[in-house]
Amino acid sequence: MIKEIVVKSILNKHKKRDDWFLDDYSINPYSGCSFNCIYCYIRGSKYGENMREAVSVKINAVEVLEKQISRRAKKSEYGIIALSSSTEPYMRIEEKYRLTRKILEVILKYRFPVEIATKSTLVLRDLDLLKEIDRNGILPEDLKDKLNHKAIISFSISTLDEKLSKILEPAAPSPIKRLETLKKCKEEGLFVGVNIIPVLPFISDSEEELDSMIRLSKEFGADFVFVGGLTLFGKGPFDSKTLYYKFLEKYFPSLIPAYKRLYRIFPMPNRDYQKRIDNIAREFADKYKIRYKLSAI
């Protein structure tokens, strides 16, 4: 079910720059997500409590953005805009509404840099705009000596297992198609990376799995990689924790005790676990000579 809604604001200014993706702003032209990833952190989190399957289209997003971004540009309040931070910007309905493309046109007009995290091949449609943004965008002063790119595109994967991906990310393109799309973006001269987020405890977080994902990221042309853990929010029937445990019950029941020990009452794995996968990822990034995290720029 798709709903059309009218919004009062579309350009969100962060209290502080995102530590990972370096964005100062975010835009979400849609709410909800038809890719329907069962582990999505939006499900049950403060950003989308009890998110159901309905997708909403912010039909006046372009007009509202024009007003908001023009004011920021007049004051030279440039910063990287994340598109999108809480949904997929290139869902199937983007083919009809073209909101993401129209928003990119406005971003280009006012010369803001942009960061896109996606699982979709549809991003290839907008390479013309992204290349123009990369050439003409204006970075904030404190990033000009650290970052030479005004368009950043990253592709998210959690596993290379096609069958597992189809269960966890039922409407998203396969992991290999995402990597092939990344390669095409790289061939067009864009700055690209892979978000290995979330890695799945005891499923896709082994040294062997992380080695494979980071090695393939490099082989397909990624400039950088991220690795991040799985967050599990909520208690409702459509929240990520509920849905993910149902997935475990069906496919990996023997792992449930280990998950309960790892998460206890918290939405994130314990710090020792997070530190371990971070250290492993850094080692493999060094091994394959690929940048680990943008914050290291």
Asked if the structure places residue 295 within a domain, the reply is: no
Q: Beta partners for 2?
A: 55
> What's the pLDDT score for residue 2?
83
What pLDDT is stored for residue 58 in this prediction? 96
Look at residue 163 and tell me if it is in a domain. yes
| 117 within domain boundaries | yes
86: domain CATH number? 3.20.20.70
Sequential DSSP letters for 72-115: HHHTT---EEEE-SSS-TT-TTHHHH-HHHHHHHHHHHTT--EE
SS3 of residue 250 by DSSP: helix
User: What are the tokens at 296?
Assistant: 């290291």
Residue 296 lies in a domain: no
Domain region containing 260: 2-290
What percent of the chain stands above pLDDT 90? 86
Tell me the three-class secondary structure of 153-189, residue by residue. Answer: EEEEECCCCHHHHHHHCCCCCCHHHHHHHHHHHHHCC
Number of domains in the chain: 1
Asked whether residue 190 is assigned to any structural domain, the reply reads yes
pLDDT at residue number 296: 56
In a domain, residue 209? The reply is: yes
Regions of the chain where pLDDT drops below 50: 49-50
297 within some domain: no
pLDDT of residue 34: 86
pLDDT tens profile 110-147: 999 999 999 999 999 999 999 999 999 999 999 999 89
What stretches of the chain adopt beta strand conformation (E)? 2-5, 11-13, 23-27, 30-31, 55-58, 80-83, 114-118, 151-157, 191-196, 224-227, 291-292
Residue 139 lies in a domain: yes
